């Protein structure tokens, strides 16, 4: 409960600071706040935009939750997202289900490269997953400028795929998939013996090992599931929204997943709310850019503020504990 309040405060402080910072660009805070709300939740169109933005955030957020719960610092959701989308593109000719399955397998495989290096030479996954992000980003860049470029060869992008997620209006079935995924993740983590062991591994790998838990197996599995979720996010974004790949396809969804997961205090169900919040923030920031000419990068600023407030609170808490 206290955690929930802290998260609410962090979110509120972020919005408040965003609004206040507008003063620096000659806008009144109230005006900015109104624009944020208008652009994110005030109309049917805005809500749709928010929901669509929330889907990839929810899945990458879950990816981070699963890995962090096992004590592995998967910073590579961005790369897994891209690789997942690439695999989905290639498998799309066999239908949308094949595309999504391919995206999960590719994401899991990409994340598992980091696990393999950890097992082989004890390479820290914080480093390897970030480096794998760069490789994935450049792989995508090469693909859309080379072998996978559209037939007209005009823009650095692929042809549109035919496969598409079933949808109602603009809203595609990925929303349902993402919510089901969070419920399944919650169930696996909190209602199964393996989930208990995964969490124990994350909290205290020494005690887990002494209790007879196969710590390495937990890490391998958590990383694979995490990669699969991030890959699925990429596959859904492709099959549900963009239908084609281009260089800036990932748009930071993987990194934002970290903020989503932390605001949710690494809880799979809270991640739904957290993703919706950041989704709204990103959509609202788009409105700021269109109407007030403020760069939509302010949503990244919002993420940073949320993280800083959360860190501040946990530092205060730690101080209280140590007294």
Partner 1 sequence: MLAVDDVSLTVGGGEIVAIVGENGAGKTTLMRIAAGELAADAGTIERSGTPSLVHQHFMLVGELSIAENLALTQRDRFRFATRSTIEREATRVIDESGIELRDVTRRVDELSVGEKSKLELIKAISRKPSTLILDEPTSVLTPREAEDLFRVMRTLAANGTAVVFISHKLPEVLAIADRIVVMRRGAIVPTSAKTPNELAHAMVGDLMERQLPAGRSAGFQPALVDENLVVHKSEIVAIVGVAGNGQTEVAARLRDRLDAASSGHIPEDRTRDGIVAEMTIAENLALTAKRWSPRQAARHADRMIELYSIRARSSAQRAGDLSGGNQQKVILARELDRHPDVIVAAEPTRGLDIEATHFIHDRLRSAAAAGAAILLITSDLDEAFALADAVQVIYRGKLSERLTPADAQMRVAGLMAGLA
Q: Which residues bind partner 1 (CB under 8 A)?
A: 190-193, 195-197, 199-200, 203-204, 206-214, 323
CA 272 centroid distance within chain: 11
Task: Compute CA distances 142 → 148, 156, 211, whole Å.
Answer: 9, 9, 47
Nearer to partner 1, 108 or 270 (CB): 270
Phi and psi (nearest 5°) for 171? -85, 120
Torsion sign (Cα): 294, 300, 306, 312: negative
CB of 136 to partner 1, least distance (A): 33
CB of 186 to partner 1, least distance (A): 13
d(CA 77, CA 90): 20
Question: What residues pair up with 157 in beta bridges, in sequence order?
Answer: 246
Task: Compute CA distances 215 → 199, 210, 304, whole Å.
Answer: 11, 10, 33
CA count, 13 A, side-chain hemisphere, 150: 15
CB of 60 to partner 1, least distance (A): 25
Nearer to partner 1, 162 or 318 (CB): 318
d(CA 222, CA 228): 10
Nearer to partner 1, 1 or 193 (CB): 193
Nearer to partner 1, 65 or 208 (CB): 208
Nearer to partner 1, 167 or 204 (CB): 204
CA 297 centroid distance within chain: 17
Nearer to partner 1, 146 or 212 (CB): 212
Beta-carbon neighbour count of residue 149 at 10 Å?
Answer: 17
CB of 200 to partner 1, least distance (A): 5
CB of 3 to partner 1, least distance (A): 13
CB of 204 to partner 1, least distance (A): 5
Q: Are 210 and 230 in contact (CB under 8 A)?
A: no
């Amino acid at each position: 409960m206290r955690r929930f309040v802290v998260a609410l405060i962090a979110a509120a402080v972020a919005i408040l600071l965003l609004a206040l910072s507008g003063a620096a660009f000659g806008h009144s805070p109230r005006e900015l706040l109104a624009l944020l709300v208008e652009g994110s939740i005030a109309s049917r169109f805005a809500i749709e935009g928010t929901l669509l933005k929330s889907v990839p955030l929810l899945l990458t957020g879950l990816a981070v939750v699963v890995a962090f719960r096992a004590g592995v610092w998967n910073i590579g959701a961005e790369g897994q997202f891209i690789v997942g989308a690439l695999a989905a593109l290639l498998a799309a000719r066999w239908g949308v289900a094949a595309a999504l399955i391919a995206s999960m397998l590719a994401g899991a495989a990409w994340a598992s490269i980091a696990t393999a290096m950890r097992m082989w030479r004890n390479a820290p996954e914080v480093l390897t997953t970030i480096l794998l992000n760069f490789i994935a980003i450049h792989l995508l860049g090469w693909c859309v400028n080379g072998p996978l470029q559209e037939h007209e060869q005009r823009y650095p992008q692929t042809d549109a795929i035919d496969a598409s997620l079933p949808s109602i209006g603009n809203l595609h079935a990925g929303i349902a998939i993402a919510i089901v995924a969070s419920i399944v993740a919650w169930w696996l983590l909190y209602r199964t013996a393996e989930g208990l062991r995964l969490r124990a591994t994350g909290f205290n790998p020494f005690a887990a090992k002494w209790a007879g838990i196969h710590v390495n197996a937990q890490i391998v599995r958590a990383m694979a599931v995490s990669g699969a979720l991030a890959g699925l996010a990429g596959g859904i974004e492709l099959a549900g929204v963009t239908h084609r790949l281009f260089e800036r396809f990932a748009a930071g969804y993987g990194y934002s997943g970290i903020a989503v997961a932390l605001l949710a205090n690494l809880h799979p169900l809270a991640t739904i709310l957290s993703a919706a919040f950041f989704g709204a923030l990103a959509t609202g920031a788009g409105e700021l850019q269109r109407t007030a000419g403020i760069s939509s990068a302010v949503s990244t600023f919002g993420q940073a503020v949320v993280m800083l407030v959360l860190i501040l609170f946990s530092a205060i808490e730690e101080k209280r504990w140590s007294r």
